[in-house]
Amino acid sequence: MGVQKFLDDIPLLLYLLLTTALMVAFIEIGFRVAKNDQGKSNKAQIAQVRAIMGASLGLLAFMLAFSFSKAQSHYEARIDAYILEISAIDAAYRGADLLEERQRASAKTLLRQFVQLRRDTSSAVDSDELEEVIEMVREAERIHDKLWMVADSAMSSPGDSIDDSIFVNAILGMIKANDERLQATLFNRIPPVIWLTLILMSCLSMIVMGYQARLTGTRSVIATWTLAFAFAVVMTLVTDLDRPRMSLFEMNESLMIELQNRINEDASPAIESEPG
């Protein structure tokens, strides 16, 4: 968790610049190590170092591809959990129509509060207000408890048990969807050992590259910075995809907004019908 928290706290642009500088620095280290080597390089040594450089860069590219694939799957899991939760909320709201009037009004009010809370949570996440996000997550759990009390009351009261069970199952699905979303957002992360391995392999590969450049006696500044920047960009994308609060990739909130508008419109006739 320490490595993940450290990476999460670094602004994305700063992360890109630091990673690029780190790559270039280790290329320079490899170049200077070879420069201090008193032995004269020969074709066999150059060929050997070139083969090692090719293998290390290939292995680094494989690790980057693996890490990107894992981060992409975590991003897709967050989207799937988000859509599943919207569907579960919609099903619960529709299922509330099957309850008796008092329970129906209570359930729909709680569901409207929950949707608004979800919107507020997304805004707090975008603003990086961690304490507010934690409190909103707890408030969401309290609303779940209240909804479950309504469901339990509906099952205990006389009436159509089949209709009541539909609402109960919808609430259970809503709670499950919320748990899956929290799991996908907070706990589906690339393990720290993979991050450490990726950073170590990047540094070693850059050292070998700088060493090889010195042995051949040629070094291009443009090629050095371009390669370092290319690897840094990919690592930055992987980092952003793996973060709970992404900068380059955003969750589309239009489905939640549409759901909120629909259930708020459903409440309007009831409000207008109340005696002034």
Which pLDDT does position 221 carry in this prediction? 82
Whole-model pTM?
A: 0.76
Closest to 168 measured CA to CA, from 156, 157, 154: 154
Quote the longest CA-to-CA distance of the chain. 97
What domains appear along the chain, each with residue ranges and CATH number?
A: 17-34+42-58+191-267 (no CATH), 78-187 (1.20.1440.210)
pLDDT at 13 over 70: yes
**Distance separating alpha carbons of residues 102 and 100, to the nearest angstrom:** 6
Query: What tens digit of pLDDT does each residue of 14-24 get?
Result: 999 999 999 99
